[in-house]
Amino acid sequence: MRTGVFYETFRTEERLWNSPASKWWMLAFTVLLFTLPLWGSKYLLAMACIIGIHVIATLGLNLTTGNAGLISLSHGAFLGVGCYTVAYFGKMGVPFYLTLPIAGCIAALLGVIVGLPSLRVKGIYLAIATLAAHFILGFVFREWTSVTGGVQGASIPRAQLFGYVLRGDRDNFYLIFALVVILGIAARNLGRSYIGRALVAVRDRDISAEILGVNLLRTKLLAFALGAFYAGVAGGVLGYFYGAITPDYFALTLSIFYLAAVIVGGLGSVLGSIFGAIFMTFVPEALRLVANTSAQWLPNVAGLVLPMGQVVFGLLIITFLVFEPHGLTAIWRRIRRVFHLWPFKT
């Protein structure tokens, strides 16, 4: 995407966020969201918590891949770093409001190390380098049994706030979405800052950006650190939500899931991160519901539909790359424009 196209997209998104109608809709949506535990079912509440965790992680990968143009296939492993960090420090009695920043910082430090090859390589070569980092971290998760518990996994103590233990989806819901709001606002403001403009400049024309005074190494490492920090926080919240975790959860498919969410939602867009995380979370759920519903008439359909999750992910990536490279965010802008014009203007 060219720089001019990006800034036009950015200005359009800013107008949508700042319009009076959008503010009222956002207020109504916020009230509806934060009252969900009062009227939502257990299934809906659990899905909302999972979506919130995915939104945090997708926001981080969008900073690295969407804004800076650096492909990372180790994002799922950074979630594992955050998860095992809160498990380790939680057992030592450290409160969750300290373990989550620590998890983000440790993941960010590892992100800087993983991002070191980005000064010399780019594109598919950088993707392979991050893929190697994913396998290295996966090996650590399985073999460092004193910290991670090995293949048996690790249990995570429940988060506590002033003596109150956060149990169940209802309590974790408010923790997760408080972080979604804070980190979402931070990502949006970061895009409007000098750092955000430097990330975009490095993505579009790295040599020209260096000539204009942008420090390529520092900016690229910062992009990896920011993305890994978000992933570490998401992994920490994931640990508190599930209460126990195994290395199998942080497989390569998790990194591909987040990469698909970024592409489907829209590169370099906070709103795209939200859309992509929601959409990609409901894809396997939709397949599962279709399989369970169809099993009443076709008993063998579940065995055919459920394994197709990865095929659907691949098809979605290809479809959006070919037909809508700007993702669901561009589709949403067109819908908003149509309803704004209809029926008063042509």
Task: Check if the beta carbon of residue 273 is closer than 8 Å to that of residue 62.
Answer: yes
Question: Which of 24-28, 174-178, 211-215, 267-271 is predicted with the least confidence, judged by mean pLDDT?
Answer: 24-28
d(CA 258, CA 252): 10
Q: What is the pTM of this model?
A: 0.85
pLDDT of residue 283: 80
d(CA 61, CA 68): 10
| Domain map (residue ranges) of the chain | 17-251
The stretch 44-69 carries a mean pLDDT of: 91
Angle, helices 194-204 vs 216-242, to 10°: value is 110
Please tell me which residue, 333 or 81, carries the higher pLDDT value: 81
d(CA 149, CA 34): 35
Could you read off the pLDDT of 112-150 as tens digits, one per residue?
Answer: 999 888 778 777 888 898 999 999 999 999 988 888 888
d(CA 197, CA 215): 12
